[in-house]
Chains A and B, each alone.
Chain A
């Protein structure tokens, strides 16, 4: 019983990191109908920002987190402005290939600067409480709580503010939104800033939980988060959150009861099955083509 509870906690931790990254995929898809395949690498850049700030500026956790988020958000906006915006009216395939290219650039640029894996210093005193056979770390609680807070803030922005209203409107009909007096470019920049900023936050938390970071760490995690976004229904913000927690739970349960090398197999099998049974995701809506 304690074992199951312990594993659920681990699942929540991993799931909340996946969910934060998945949000970036889903928000960009919702607004531009493109998959930003550089997003996993932006997550990696978040972890490296965290490393740089902690090692060279000796800041404590909160400023490190905020600066890393801001840094990644800024990078996301710059990438959108210079790499994706010129392709806004091009076929989606061009934009997606560009995104893959941007991802490769980020990986190799980081690799050129830092060829060896880095170790993120402990930013927080990590206390572990033991209750019988159950062990609870303060870091684990922090990651889960912080992710939930960030997701609540995002939900508030999207559902309750004028910018969120504009985002929802753009995801339904991009051409007429400007005729409501909304600057679409600004909203797209804002979406990128928020989406990639959340990815940056996930990078920092991941770096704290698993402190060895390398330039390729974003690839697999990025793919997994993309699965979460698709599982939840791509373009659907709440779906991405649900998808993140589902995949987190599945992976931890696989690792707990099966050999842990099956983790990725199960994750990708889950995606395949879902695509067959419910191609539009859990919260997505089928969009019948009109003939």
Chain B
């Protein structure tokens, strides 16, 4: 049974069809890439899965549960986490708090317990702080735990965003252009890093990317979107020379 199954997904913004009749399925522990030119609808697909937008038509099933119509926080709690194309950290909060807040759904104490400092309050706060610190040290960010997120260098901000996503304990991780703004050397490191995350946290990953080197290097399957529709899907080697993909990326040769 697929972990995530999308059927006939369509989304329109006031007449503009951003995603049309998109079908997709991913098995547990797979790593699939979604590529396509700018404006092809890749990020919209992520926004639809995570509930930021509500799909106009179609269905998104996660572990057999329908996601269309659920609020984003419920979708997150069911086990889907994501990162963003343009980093979206809580810039004024500390690195530690950025990760701590992602534990929100896992904290169990009542407001009364918090105000009176009784019951589970201290133990729970301690637990998520130590879990957050563990996660930060895995990502080698523990030394910056007290620093405001905005003071981190760009590469570390990207890493922190992934750590924050993993703190929600996802089964499915959506990475939106993780290599944006990285040089070829950093991209190679990132490839190893993503593979390592997949093993360590045993997550399923969907990756949106522009950097062909990254996508071809680590994805097991690739889906190509253009103008909101799937134009090709298959193994990296098949995609590489697919005529419609070349056409979408490079344009059609004009025959005089």
Contacts and interface: CB of A to CB of B under 8 A. Distances in A.
A101 interface: no
A166 B84 contact: no
A212 to B, nearest CB: 34
A165 B72 contact: no
Interface of A: 153, 156-157, 160-163, 165-166, 168-169, 172-173, 175-184
B23 to A, nearest CB: 24
Interface of A is mostly: helix
B185 to A, nearest CB: 29
B182 interface: no
A190 B107 CA distance: 17
B115 A157 contact: yes
A181 B93 contact: no
Contacts of B109: 162
Nearest to B84: A176
Contacts of A168: 90, 92-93, 97
Nearest to B105: A181
A178 B76 contact: yes
Interface string B50-94: 111000000000000000000111001100011010001011110
B154 interface: no
A172 B89 CA distance: 9
Given A169-B93, A172-B90, A184-B73, A179 B50 contact: yes
A169 B101 contact: yes
Given A169-B93, A172-B92, A183-B73, A153 B115 contact: yes
A281 to B, nearest CB: 16
A162 B107 contact: yes
B11 interface: no
A165 B100 contact: yes
17 contacts: A161-B111, A161-B114, A162-B104, A162-B114, A162-B125, A166-B101, A168-B93, A169-B101, A176-B84, A176-B88, A179-B50, A180-B102, A180-B168, A181-B73, A181-B77, A181-B102, A182-B101
A180 B101 contact: yes
Contacts of B73: 178-184
Given A160-B114, A166-B104, 4 more contacts: A168-B92, A169-B101, A179-B72, A180-B164
A266 to B, nearest CB: 34
Interface in B107-151: 107, 109, 111, 114-115, 121, 125
Given A180-B168, A181-B73, A172 B91 contact: yes
Contacts of B91: 172
A280 to B, nearest CB: 14
